[in-house]
Each structure stands twice: as C-alpha cells, then as structure tokens.
Amino acid sequence: MKSFEEKVLEKCKLIPKGKVSTYKGLAKAVNSVGYRAVGQVLKKNKYPIKIPCHRVVNSDGSVGNYSGPGKKKGKVFLLRKEGVEIKEGRIDLKKYLFK
C-alpha cells in the first residue's frame, strides 16, 4: 500500500503545464482532508522539476508559498512561463484549474 506522501506526489505529477491544482483538491484526490499535510509533503519535494509542486496553489487562487528555487517569485516565474496568468497575485481557477 502506498503512503500518503507517495499518493500526493503521484497526483502532483499529473498536473499538466499550464494548469494548477489546489492543496485542498490534491488532498481530496488522495481521499484525505489534510490539505495542510499536502503542503508539508510538497515542501519536502526533492524533485521539483519532475514533480511540479509549483503548480499547486491556494483554494482562493492565490499563489501560496514555494520552497523551491526563488521561493514565491520562483513559483510565479515558473507558472507564467507555462502560460498561467497571474493577476494581482491570483490565478483564475475557472480557467486554469486541473480537474
């Protein structure tokens, strides 16, 4: 049986370029209510290019934190590079949310 961490990282890999998921959505996808635990798993991600944790944002569309290169500015840079529009620190989840 896979651990919670393995499940979260596997689901995170499925988020395509140009789309985002939320911590809460990722938690639901692995049958959990622990969206903060999802954040802790992603914070420890050792392979941010292979497992694109920068594509996981807050439920209100705000970018949220990032422990990868460049911190929050790095996350914004990567998302914009992939075509995600960020206006006033928020992403339009109706347009960019991966389901």
Catalytic residue among 30, 42, 53, 78: 53
Alpha helices in the chain (DSSP H): 4-13, 23-29, 35-43, 71-81, 93-96
Cβ(61)–Cβ(92) below 8 Å: yes
Is 5 within 8 Å of 41 (Cβ atoms)? Answer: yes
Catalytic residue list contains 53:
yes
If one counts the domains in the chain, the total is: 1
Cβ(7)–Cβ(90) under 8 Å? Answer: no
- The string of pLDDT tens digits covering residues 28-86 is 999 999 999 999 999 999 998 899 999 999 999 999 988 888 899 999 999 999 999 99
CATH number at residue 86: 1.10.10.10
**pTM, to two decimals:** 0.94
Pairing of strands 90-91, 86-87: antiparallel
Host domain of residue 55: 4-96
